[in-house]
Amino acid sequence: CMGNDDAGQLGNGSSIAADQIYPIRVNISAPVISFSAAERSTCAMQHNDVLWCWGSDAGGVLGNGSDTGDQPNPNRVVGFGIT
């Protein structure tokens, strides 16, 4: 991922208030088949239908069961995919 990371939306475990012009590795160990990015949050889908999201959790948009603020690491979406 690359771009602005002020809410942890790059998924590398930190929140950097500057633009990242080079790709940064996301902290997900298994292969990802697709990504979806919004202004302040990002999600990734794995081949086994496991969904991970990170970045701003304003209004609970990350699907982790709470409204926890910024999440700079991927969090598994509750109740989605194989459990």
Q: What is the mean pLDDT of each run of 10 residues along the chain (83 residues)?
A: 84 79 83 90 91 91 84 87 60
Q: pTM for the whole thing?
A: 0.84
pLDDT attached to residue 82: 60
81: Cβ contacts below 8 Å, ≥ 6 apart:
46, 48, 49, 50, 51
Quick one: CA dihedral 18, 24, 27, 32, positive or negative?
A: positive
Q: What is the DSSP string of 52-78?
A: EEEE--GGGTT-SSS--S-EEEEEEPT
